[in-house]
A and B are shown apart, each in its own frame.
Chain A
Amino acid sequence: MIPQSIQTFLSLDLFPLLAALFAAISCGLLGNFLVLRKQSLMGDAISHAVLPGLVAAFLITQSRSPGMMFIGAAISALITVVLVEVIKRLGKVEPGAAMGVVFSVLFALGVFLLENAAARSVDLDADCVLHGNLQTLFWISPPDQWSNLFSAESYSDVPRQVWTLAGTTLGVTLFVSLFFKELKIASFDAGIATVQGINAGFMHMLLMTFVAIAAVASFEAVGSILVIAMFICPAATARMLTDRLKSQIFVSIIVAALTAIVGYAIASWVEVNAAGMIASASGVFLVIAIVSSPRHGVIAKTLNQRQLGNKVALEDVLGALYRISESDSQANLEQLIASTGADSRSRKALSKAQSLGLVNVHNGILSLSKVGESRAASIIRRHRLWEGYLVEQAGLSPDHVHETAEQLEHFVDVPDQSLSKTHTDPHGKPIPPR
């Protein structure tokens, strides 16, 4: 005997959850290539543009048979792909604009047809197009005995959408794994792909066909909003987290699945539309990845920049002290501040230099330690070599080079080794020996 709670889950939640999972995974997988080709909008275009195909199929056949609907949607998806290509080539507009034009016009056409159809009192629901009908995917008679889980009979009333989506997911997975190499080269370098005998245009149309299939199969159950989100968010999230296409694809599958489960769980908890909640969750995951990705994330970048800023400030303090000592005067805090600027960063840099033992403070007099002096000398050396280089090789006048050298001294050596034998900079100051 299967407990009541599990039976309820099987009956109410299992298929919606599975449909969401399948839709998320198949769209998420293909989304990787859309995102890499900077064609994410294509998923958007296709999922909107199927509407006129659906309505037209209905108007022509006068039936709501799913097969006819599917064919109508698939045809208008393919028309979308072709139209976008045509407008891109003939209309002299950027790809994004071509997609935008095509899908808005086709969607509008769909709405127009729909209203006409509605006027003839038939029930086609426009809302359904946007957020699907996950809640209608019941398992009317789920098995009540564990043993029945394995009998084919229990599965006779599995909703058609779930089967379609399962098949689509299988097909998309096969497509991506079989043609992984071909998709990779065609997305990266169309010219080389073609030279290698992998026609990039053909691969593009093949990819778009699968995008159309995934969009059409998914959107009936989950709606176009979720389809669009799934074409972009899992792949974009995965892109933030990895630097290899293969791992990006695996991560995107995990992200898509996680999004579907978490979104669905929250939606049933607070009782809102599941597709909408899953789409929102995918956006939240993307934001988290953008902020906290270890390499490309905002936090990591900010930390890196701060570290770099601190290093520059420290080197500037050492350089300033070196210059003051060159003029045979003793440095105190005021003099240092006068030459580095009185911001908190150079104060912090000074105390950092002290704690590193690079700078000694004695009765308010600042002096470089032995280690500090050699490090300062190498910075000044670079600075003055750069000044010499900029004057001699780049033809700048001597009073224009300080600022540039001030930037370069922290990062790179002078490219020209022949300069390393000179002893003074363009202003006549000695270049410290290496």
Chain B
Amino acid sequence: MTHTENSQVQSPRSILDARPEHSADSPVSVHAMTVAYNRKPVLWDVDYDAPSNALVAIVGPNGAGKSTLIKACLGLIPRASGTVEFWGKPYKQSRSLIGYVPQRESVDWDFPVSALDVVCMGRYRKIGWCRPVTKSHKRAALEALARVGMEDFATRQISQLSGGQQQRVFLARALTQEADLYFMDEPFAGVDASTERAIIEVLRELRANGKTVIVVHHDLQSVPEYFDHVLLLNMRVVAAGPVSEVFTAENLQKTYGGRLTLLAEAAEAVARAAKGT
């Protein structure tokens, strides 16, 4: 487990004190963001500074607003209030540096495209409007497929891939974008063991290259093993910071309050984390 320099524990109190000062070094700073669906808030006054060069898990119960947080940062859904900055600049000026892996279920996998076609989509911004996908872009896409161990499946139609393979194609598409900050929405959901290993290897490779990856994660058990930082979310930020400091039984109880089965799971995860450090 690696730790980055600017690892400070954020509790709601300290965030309030810190406002509105956010670090321009942070790949993404969320300030006082509220998001509502049909006027019902799903995210309340979220403040968060992501550390640079780290693997960050967003953890929280169903309906905590984890995906919503990512989508609102990327401008895919409107914010009711608040600001989001990337390296101190608005989204529009830093778009090319930000990659996104949506949930696998968000698309129609019967769509008539090959795995390579999907990966090429990660380069559309580089290619530009109305220009065709050239050979060099296809080569880059193939390299990305190779990084996730999928080069042999490049010409397969995407419905003929297994769930894990589809997830790897999505990951390859994000890789080929050559971004500095990645948002990934449940990349480990419903994948096989070998895909999980392949994904975590890629995540570590990204970190080794100085990138930041923010991952919506549902498996509490693997948080201490996979991630440096964690953001505990349940409509508001419960706690955020290095896993070793923030991923505590107390904080998890605040996050999952009352959900007994999850609490048991959380307790076990904390015990394992304690053993690891």
Contact = CB atoms under 8 A, between A and B. Distances in A.
Contacts of A184: 113, 117, 121
B168 to A, nearest CB: 16
Contact of B127 (A181, A242, A243, A248): A181
Interface in B214-236: none
B102 A198 contact: no
Interface stretch (A122-130, A187-195, A301-309, A332-340): A187-195
Interface in B6-35: none
A198 B124 CA distance: 8
Which of A182, A195, A248 has the most C-beta atoms of chain B within 10 angstroms of its own C-beta? A195
Interface in B113-133: 113-114, 117-118, 121-122, 124-125, 127, 129-133
Given A179-B130, A197-B95, A198-B129, A189 B106 contact: yes
B113 A244 contact: yes
B100 A188 contact: no
B124 A196 contact: yes
Contacts of B95: 195, 197
Given A192-B173, A194-B75, A197-B125, A181 B133 contact: yes
A191 B111 contact: no
Chain A contact residues, majority secondary structure: helix
Contacts of A179: 130
A181 B124 CA distance: 8
A374 B107 CA distance: 44
Interface in A164-204: 178-182, 184-185, 187-189, 191-198
A184 B127 CA distance: 14
A188 B112 CA distance: 9
B76 interface: yes
B193 to A, nearest CB: 9
A291 interface: no
Interface residues of A, number: 26
Interface in B74-114: 74-76, 95, 98-100, 102, 106-108, 111-114
Nearest to B129: A182
B71 interface: yes
Interface centre among A189, A191, A192 (most CB of B within 10 A): A192
A38 to B, nearest CB: 8
A189 B170 CA distance: 11
Interface string B243-276: 0000000000000000000000000000000000
Nearest to A198: B124
A261 interface: no
Contact of B121 (A185, A239, A243): A185
Given A178-B130, A196-B125, A197-B95, A191 B114 contact: no
A245 interface: yes
A295 to B, nearest CB: 9
Given A181-B133, A182-B130, A243-B157, A192 B112 contact: no
A192 B129 contact: no
A279 B129 CA distance: 36
B246 to A, nearest CB: 29
Contacts of B111: 36, 187-188, 245
A189 B132 contact: no
A245 B112 contact: yes
B169 to A, nearest CB: 11
Contacts of A189: 102, 106-107, 121
A188 B76 contact: no
Nearest to A200: B76
Nearest to A180: B132
B132 A181 contact: yes
Interface in A241-280: 242-245, 248
A195 B108 contact: no
A195 B111 CA distance: 20
A243 B159 CA distance: 10
Contacts of B121: 184-185, 188-189, 192-193, 196
Of A182, A191, A193, chain B has the most CB atoms within 10 Å of the CB of A191
A188 B102 contact: no
Interface string A30-64: 00000010100000000000000000000000000
A191 B102 contact: yes
B98 A195 contact: yes
Contacts of A248: 112
Contacts of A191: 71, 74, 76, 100, 102, 106
A35 B132 CA distance: 23
Nearest to A245: B112
Interface centre among B99, B100, B114, B121 (most CB of A within 10 A): B121
A332 B134 CA distance: 66
Nearest to A90: B38
B100 A192 contact: yes
A188 B99 CA distance: 17
B98 A239 contact: no
A197 B173 CA distance: 15
Contact of B100 (A38, A195, A243, A245): A195
Contacts of B74: 191, 194-195
A181 B121 CA distance: 8
B235 to A, nearest CB: 22
Given A184-B113, A191-B71, A245-B113, 9 more contacts: A36-B111, A182-B124, A182-B130, A184-B121, A188-B107, A191-B74, A196-B121, A244-B157, A245-B111
9 contacts: A185-B121, A188-B107, A192-B102, A194-B74, A195-B76, A195-B99, A195-B100, A243-B112, A248-B112
- In the complex, the 5 A-B pairs of residues with the closest C-beta atoms, listed nearest first: A243-B157, A196-B124, A196-B125, A195-B100, A178-B130
Interface of A: 36, 38, 178-182, 184-185, 187-189, 191-198, 239, 242-245, 248
